[in-house]
Amino acid sequence: MPSSVVADIDYDADLAQLTVTFVTGRVYCYYMVPPDCVDAFRAAFSKGAFFNKNIRDRFPCREVTSAA
């Protein structure tokens, strides 16, 4: 999953919680994310473009950690 923006994606289907780790080291949890959206995110050619269009500002979120 090479991306210049997204370092890692983790998804808890039971909670519909998407955790995105950015290359900056910041980690955010997004809530109520449907599994089909996560599947499309994982399959997207550009993770950053997909994230900005389909996830950012569309689901409630909170920052879990920030870069040191």
Residue 22, both tokens: 């950015």
pTM of the entire predicted model: 0.89
pLDDT of residue 3: 80
Averaged pLDDT of the chain: 92
How many Å is the Cα radius of gyration of the chain? 11
Q: Span 11-29, mean pLDDT? A: 96
Q: Given this model, what pLDDT does residue 8 score?
A: 95
List the alpha helices (DSSP H) in 1-46: 35-43
8 Å CB contact between 14 and 36:
no
For residue 54, the SS3 value is helix
Amino acid code (one letter) for 41: F
Indicate the pLDDT class of residue 27, thresholds 50, 70 and 90: very high
Statement: residue 46 has pLDDT above 60:
yes
